[in-house]
Amino acid sequence: MFDVTKQFSLTGKVALVTGAAYGIGYAIAKAYADAGAKIAFNCRKQEHLEQALADYKKDGIEALGYICDVTDEAAVKAMVADIEMKLGTIDILVNNAGIIKRTLMLEMETADFRQVVDIDLTAPFIVSKAVLPGMLRKGHGKIINVCSMLSEVGRETVAAYTAAKGGLKMLTKNIASEFGDRNIQCNGIGPGYIATPQTA
């Protein structure tokens, strides 16, 4: 049987997938591991970390997991430094971590709007900024931002999410423009509604 992973081998590559304790992030990390990559991920809660590590182990994957708030620049820098020490320079970053708060715009608190933008837009900037120096030293790198189809269309109750994901789409273009000539590619993907805990 034809094995597509052999056509896209990631053997020896180091991949950091944020928010990969479950859902889309976990599926991406598992696919990368199946293609040979060494996996690091983060989440925000101890119980999610423990469950994720058990899930990775059950799937035969040795993943390096961290409790890390991706909106905390110092914590992100420390996580990236530890990954580089234990696994090597990060070759692939997937900015997957995100939240959504489904609230009508006129009922949404400004603090909630800011939290969504902070996690869904500012955090990808912070994590990208942390991994880019290593990629520049190595001479290559891949950054993938999970932008969502809501980076292209609006929906009721998701003003903060659409604003953040629209901004992430433009951040993606800017990273590609600024670092493309240094052999660092940045792309965005726009999933629709996927059966994940967040969608539920």
Point out the residues that are catalytic. Answer: 161
Q: Which two three-digit tokens encode residue 189? A: 């993907």
Helix or strand run (H / E) with residue 18: strand 14-18
Cα distance between residue 112 and residue 159, in whole Å: 11
Instruction: Using DSSP, state whether 188 is helix, strand or coil.
Output: strand
* Cα separation values, 190 from 13, 88, 152, Å: 24, 29, 9
Residue whose pair of structure tokens reads 């967040």 in the numeric block: 198
Where would I find the beta strands (DSSP E) of 32-183? 38-43, 63-67, 92-95, 141-146
Question: Under 8 Å CB-to-CB from 52, ≥6 apart: which residues?
Answer: 20, 21, 22, 26, 41, 43, 63, 65
Q: Measured at the alpha carbon of residue 71, what is the angle toward residues 117 and 138, in degrees to the nearest 5?
A: 115
Which amino acid does the sequence have at 44? R
Per DSSP bridges, beta strands 63-67 and 92-95 are: unpaired
